[in-house]
Chain A
């Protein structure tokens, strides 16, 4: 008898995934991969050292506390208390999850219901939309818009939300807004004024804020990362999400966390005890130890929270320069480790690419990967179906790459520009 295999309705339409497609494309070792946000630089030595000692400690091979390994939640509480006005209870106000991805999932499953609306700012880290849909809720999109800029380098700060347009998206069904600062893919670091606009609306409409701050340490000169949860009236309605992967350049550890008031975190904890129950022990202990090293020296330039952005700012500037040489219009990011650039000026001949239904940037990236051996990610992957065209001229490049990778990218770009002239 054939199986009436019907999948649950919650995953209807959520099966495609841009990463699966594009990482496959970039897997060819001859391709210089500036696509997926994956550092190919080494994590700091002391992080690796902590981890290698851990395997020998027997107790760390067995289950730890479900909501977060005790030494890790203590370290996180100690770190984040420096930013908030209140003390943070490590057991009640912190949850350790499988990457920030897991925190997003727990937040949405715990707090978003069928029929709720959730505001998502476009372009958005691509999982926000399917996660909201999987919870049976309706995503409501609002794009970041850029003011035309003459005689000045195009910057991520030129991309803003129109306050009136934003206000029009809120109504009595709005359960939450998802904020991402520093922003992926544009690299925008929201200012105090911009966050105040969002906070005012959250309070007025009694809405939650899910603040994805995985790139919180990666802000460049002249910018400051601000936590919306520290604004008046916001602690009680905000979940702030962080990532070990992005903090210590260890994306493969898949550890993230949610920080917030207990009346919100307890629901994320309920999701946790019914989904994965607990995260891996050895990695949590190693992470705790790495945190203690850097927590003690936060004003020191050697602290990784300070040294990594310095290192990346140089790479950012180099990448901007390279993309400009190629004739692209890159947007200088104030934070994060991506740059988006308008590729339409290149007027590349994409006629050979099949599937003319795909947005321009999808075709461009596939063509560039195949013909130039350089990969990136199409920015329309970070848009919803209806608005893909708004961003289809943009392509995202990742610059948290070692110098030899950037050298290889430079070689490709030089040859490319050579061919053009």
Chain B
């Protein structure tokens, strides 16, 4: 049989044109994805990839062993498990987080296992956000919050974390980036359905303080709003800072969904196991969405995560706990990166938590304003592309984490991921040294 390579682009007369509109309207404005673009560039050039947020070191041994056990024990783990979560996993999530949140958590009513925290976010938006509902999003935000709001027919309402000016010579800190209480309060209307909070925050690395959370909590209660709390980086906190779950504050459990990630907790992003925790009155709607979208999550990954949590429960709070060791190690990587980036004139903002820091590139914008790019392209995007092509370092422009109207305003920061192996940081140093040498007259 002769095989023809039939491609619609090559044969215009075969071009598919439906008389009615093809794609659903819910996809309007959400088809573009920055990760595809920058990921592609990073793979095309010889770069040290400090862009996408994933560790390039392995998960801890006990987690790998847990996965191997899941793959090699009961062959029935190759088959479907319970739709809302593999029972040993929902059980341990309930007991582990019940203690942390100071709440009685029922594994069947208050826990849903999802395909990554990404899946939990999607499920929450679809369950609770309706056509015309407003969703308050704190900028800069993990980029999926806006399209997920739009796909649910909601209207994103942005409120910006604003950096306060720093002293000369002092490094900026993520804790300086704050919400203006009056401005925040003004964003709540009778149409506000939810507020999405991310602490520790991606990309800035801010860890919201108790006072800041109390402010958000009081507004949510006053305006009867649901809080979706993305806490994937909850263990990645540095310098003695404390991660606080807003669901543990008075009056908040009944109106909060707390989202977590095994990928970030156990440095195994490829397992794609996440969860949502919350009151049954909210969770039942997430379960409805779940059973009509993917229905089950893969079994073995869940078994591995359950086993990994068993380990952590035994070692909780002790020096042997991964949730203690990981932030200790990563803090050193953070500090290394902060020192190194400064050598070429990048100005890092010290993060209290998360995988990332952002670096101010204003000096570069002043010195080399005309980097190649599209006419309307924000400076930071052009800078990142230039850096990939010319300096062998990949990062992410922070304007992708802002709403379109604010991108021009916040086009002078670049995000770096420091959850990388020592060898990667050394490779980064080599690239930076070369860059520094090129700066000398």
Contacts and interface: CB of A to CB of B under 8 A. Distances in A.
B200 interface: no
Given A8-B127, A48-B78, A63-B52, A253 B16 contact: no
B238 interface: no
A404 B122 CA distance: 42
Contacts of B147: 274
B270 A111 contact: no
B356 to A, nearest CB: 15
B226 A52 contact: no
Given A19-B295, A110-B24, 6 more contacts: A40-B79, A66-B36, A101-B294, A102-B294, A110-B23, A280-B270
B122 A275 contact: yes
Q: Which of A98, A101, A114, A281 has the most CB of B within 10 A?
A: A98
B205 interface: no
A63 B54 contact: yes
Nearest to B81: A252
B288 A15 contact: yes
A246 B55 CA distance: 33
B67 interface: yes
A236 B16 contact: yes
B116 A276 contact: yes
B56 interface: yes
Interface string B81-117: 1110000000000000000000000000000000110
A17 B291 contact: yes
B269 A62 contact: yes
Interface in B281-316: 281-282, 284-285, 287-289, 291-301
A219 to B, nearest CB: 21
B294 A63 contact: no
Interface stretch (A127-135, A148-156, A385-393): A127-135
A263 B21 CA distance: 12
Contact of A4 (B23, B224, B301): B224
Closest 5 CB pairs of A and B: A281-B270, A252-B299, A7-B285, A236-B16, A267-B23
B270 A276 contact: no
B68 A55 contact: yes
A127 B295 contact: yes
B22 A279 contact: no
Given A55-B71, A270-B31, A254 B3 contact: no
A86 B224 CA distance: 56
A272 to B, nearest CB: 10
19 contacts: A1-B221, A3-B226, A5-B281, A8-B129, A11-B288, A17-B83, A63-B54, A86-B5, A99-B296, A102-B294, A206-B18, A206-B19, A250-B78, A251-B80, A252-B80, A254-B296, A270-B27, A274-B30, A279-B272
B105 to A, nearest CB: 18
B232 to A, nearest CB: 13
Contact of B268 (A17, A20, A62, A113): A62
Contact of A236 (B8, B24, B116, B284): B8
Contacts of B116: 276-278
Given A87-B5, A111-B22, A273 B33 contact: yes
Contact of A86 (B3, B254, B282): B3
Contacts of A43: 75, 78
A62 B122 contact: no
A227 interface: no
Nearest to A137: B24
B128 A267 contact: no
B369 interface: no
B247 interface: no
A38 B291 contact: no
A157 interface: no
A175 to B, nearest CB: 7
B52 to A, nearest CB: 7
Contacts of B59: 61
B144 interface: yes
Given A58-B58, A105-B293, A281-B270, A252 B20 contact: no
A109 B78 contact: no
B119 interface: yes
Interface string B206-242: 0000000000000001101010000000000000000
B255 interface: yes
Contacts of B289: 11
Contacts of A7: 127-128, 285, 288
A85 B79 contact: no
Contacts of A38: 79-80
A303 B411 CA distance: 56
Contacts of B293: 101-102, 105, 275
A42 to B, nearest CB: 5
Contacts of B222: 1
A139 B250 CA distance: 45
B24 A109 contact: yes
A55 B18 contact: no
